[in-house]
């Protein structure tokens, strides 16, 4: 996406409690869920209808790790039946999932740059009234 990125703001209807990871997610994805979802809930930047985006992000992270395990075990290339050295298919999957995870992390407010744009919704230090006036 080119141009100015949209500001991420606190959501009306944001979740108050971190939901458990979906049972169908692989192990690495559940680990990533446990790492990011509580922080997003605390920042009040995650609503129920956005959980599928977080699921996709966590799944991309899991696929990155799965591809990396294969690449570390078998290397970046393999010899084809015709004797040519070819790049492993996992390298393409790794690249695609890194790009997807990066985009989804920015969309969810997980990256440092997207967090700095997030005005948040946590109420601990909130001194503004309902009209946005600092009192």
Confidence (pLDDT) at 128: 43
Confidence (pLDDT) at 14: 81
Q: Is residue 2 part of a domain?
A: no
Overall domain count for the chain = 1
Please list the rounded mean pLDDT of every run of 10 residues in the chain (135 residues): 65 82 96 94 87 96 97 96 96 97 92 67 45 46
**What backbone phi and psi angles, to 5 degrees, belong to 112?**
-55, -40
Q: Is residue 10 part of a domain?
A: no
Dist CA 35 CA 46 (whole Å): 14
Q: Is residue 56 part of a domain?
A: yes
Is the distance from CB of 106 to CB of 129 less than 8 angstroms? no
Q: Is residue 128 part of a domain?
A: no
Residue 11 CB: number of other CB atoms within 10 A?
A: 16
Q: Is residue 95 part of a domain?
A: yes
Confidence (pLDDT) at 4: 75
Confidence (pLDDT) at 93: 97
Q: Is residue 60 part of a domain?
A: yes
Is the distance from CB of 46 to CB of 14 less than 8 angstroms? yes
Tell me the residue range of the domain where 52 lies: 27-117
Confidence (pLDDT) at 12: 66
Q: Is residue 44 part of a domain?
A: yes
Q: Is residue 131 part of a domain?
A: no
């Amino acid at each position: 996406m080119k141009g100015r990125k949209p500001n991420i703001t606190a959501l009306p209807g944001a979740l108050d409690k971190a939901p458990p990871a979906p049972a169908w997610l692989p192990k690495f994805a559940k680990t990533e869920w446990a790492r990011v979802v509580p922080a997003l809930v605390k920042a009040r930047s995650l609503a129920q209808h956005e959980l599928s985006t977080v699921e996709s992000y966590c799944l991309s992270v899991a696929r990155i790790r799965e591809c990396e395990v294969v690449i570390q075990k078998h290397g970046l290339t393999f010899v084809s039946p015709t004797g040519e050295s070819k790049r492993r298919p996992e390298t393409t999957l790794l690249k695609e999932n890194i790009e997807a995870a990066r985009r989804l992390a920015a969309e969810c407010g997980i990256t440092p740059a997207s967090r700095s744009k997030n005005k948040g919704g946590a109420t601990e230090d909130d001194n503004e009234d309902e009209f946005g006036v600092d009192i």
